[in-house]
Amino acid sequence: MRTSRRRGVVGVLRAQNRSESKSFGTESTSFSPQSKNFDLQSKNFGHLSTSRQFGEFHHTLITATRPLSLKVASLERKGVVYVDYIVLREVVNMLALLLIAAAIVAVILFIRFHPVFGSNPSKEVKTEYSSLEHYSNGAFVNQIPTEMATDFRSMLPVLKEFLKGNPNRQPGQPIPTKPLQFSKQNPNQTTKVTWFGHSSLLLEMDHKRILLDPMFGKAPSPIPWFGNKRYSKELPFSVDELPQIDLVILSHDHYDHLDYGTIKKLKSKVNQFLVPLGVSNHLKRWGVEPDRIQECNWWDEIVAAGVTLVCTPARHFSGRSLTNRNSTLWCSWVIKGTETKIYFSGDSGYGPHFKEIGEKYGPFDLTLMECGQYHEKWAAIHMMPEETVQAHIDVRGKRMIPIHWGAFTLSLHDWTDPVERAITAANGNNVMISTPHIGETISLEEEQPSKWWKS
């Protein structure tokens, strides 16, 4: 009878008869817990090596193979001999690799087919974009060079800062909100503004209701169960309570500005969507009819819902997936009513476009200026608070409301740092600044000195 010379060989040999099975003697190694040559609990492995090559795998195998051992013992009595345990380890390793591969495939399929990631412009549309000055090599670009340090060496200090932790990155308890009663509100001629945290706002002007970057989800993430949750826990209203909305204006397609769940709930209440180039593909995939969407390029001037709007440049980027960076445009907006002119910055790093916008369309009665989620490593795409105030001055604004803070933690600074620094910079430059509570409706003439975040 031929015997195995390599201890690591796994095989299943069916004995021809009882005498052949006995001829193995001590050369065979059974997985039976009764076997003296393979006593896992006492770690007496007989002729098997007990060197470090088995590592922690022994302990795991004891539990994992106990049911198998009972089965093997039963098969032994029927004349089946199982040889050596090392190959079992290799089988488990193979299964682990298969599980990892399956997980990777699952993630790829999730990104490819789940609607939360939206949809990309078609090849034909990209061909049309190629003639634009701010479109190059299949992607939109900024007016001036804009670098984001994402290499490991640049991001290592950020990682260390993140791991160090900062307990003030978010409030210690849910922040207060002002309940909003839509049933008692009717849009009127006087312009009113309601801030919902981050960059989501409601404008009431010229008898119209306009939502800016409505993000009413719990977390700015494709999977809402993960990511930083909303500071206020709840909104000051329910989406179901919203009255009919005349116009929704979007600045770009990032998750903290364009939320899949919000659009799904909101779409039946909206008369028209106004978006930068490429963003309509997301809305169409989510069930918004194409005739209710209007796309705009930088410097396009249009009239929507009876309001004059201009799609103006910003310094930022776009993308909702791993493979569609800058496939859609980002922008800011000029909103001109019969008596009021408002500038909405969207997301933007500081740049010369602010002065250009101010020269063409200023002055503005109100500016809604990005102020938050900044860091020196990505200062090109998110302004520091002092730059926020300077941008307000550049566009020739009268009163400023700092936005892009007060809802989510997307950077490493204290959660109140944006508003505190903005107030200091505004006071130093004689800029009027308003800081309303979340859910509080204010008019442009009201003084609003409250520092609610300190209470």
Q: Where are the domains of the chain?
A: 1-113, 152-454
Q: How far apart are CA 227 and CA 219, in angstroms?
A: 6
Secondary structure element (H or E) that encloses residue 47, with its range: none
Quote the pTM value. 0.78
Question: What are the tokens at 291?
Answer: 């005739």
The number of CA neighbours under 13 Å toward the Cβ of 411 is 22
Distance of CA 352 to the CA centre of its chain: 28
Q: How far apart are CA 283 and CA 113, in angstroms?
A: 15
* Confidence at residue 67, expressed as pLDDT on a 0 to 100 scale: 54
> Residues with Cβ < 8 Å from 184, sequence gap 6 or more?
none
* Confidence at residue 40, expressed as pLDDT on a 0 to 100 scale: 41
SS3 399: strand
Q: How far apart are CA 340 and CA 366, in angstroms?
A: 8
Q: How wide is the angle at C-alpha 6 spanned by C-alphas 5 and 11, nearest 5°?
A: 100
> Between the CA of residue 329 and those of 141, 252, 347, what are the distances in Å?
8, 7, 12
| Paired strand residues for 400 | 367, 433
Q: How far apart are CA 360 and CA 132, in angstroms?
A: 21
Nearest to 198 by CA among 418, 429, 448: 418
Q: How far apart are CA 427 and CA 259, in angstroms?
A: 35
Could you tell me the sign of the dihedral formed by the alpha carbons of 422, 427, 433, 436, in that order? Answer: positive
Question: At how many degrees (to 10) do helices 57-77 and 86-113 cross?
Answer: 110
Query: What one-character-per-residue DSSP string does 232-270 give?
Result: TSS-SS-GGG---BSEEE-----TTTS-HHHHHHHGGGB
Is CATH 3.60.15.10 correct for 152-454? yes
Nearest to 174 by CA among 250, 236, 117, 223: 236
β-strands 208-212, 201-205: how paired? Answer: antiparallel
Question: At how many degrees (to 10) do helices 353-361 and 385-394 cross?
Answer: 30
Q: How far apart are CA 219 and CA 217, in angstroms?
A: 6
Question: What are the tokens at 236?
Answer: 């000051």
Which contacts qualify for 155-160: CB closer than 8 Å, 24 or more apart? 155/377, 157/377, 158/375, 158/377, 158/412
> Residues with Cβ < 8 Å from 334, sequence gap 6 or more?
309, 310, 312, 341, 342, 343, 357, 361, 364
Question: What are the tokens at 179?
Answer: 């309940």
Give pLDDT < 70 ranges for the chain.
1-85, 150-151, 183-188, 447-449
Burial 271-281 (b: 16+ CB within 10 A, else e): ebbbbbbbbbb
Nearest to 213 by CA among 177, 277, 263, 170: 263
Question: At how many degrees (to 10) do helices 385-394 and 417-428 cross?
Answer: 50
β-strands 341-344, 332-336: how paired? Answer: antiparallel
SS3 220: coil
* Confidence at residue 185, expressed as pLDDT on a 0 to 100 scale: 61
Residue-wise pLDDT for 78-137, tens only, equals 444 444 567 777 778 888 888 898 888 887 777 777 899 999 999 999 999 999 999 999
Distance of CA 305 to the CA centre of its chain: 31
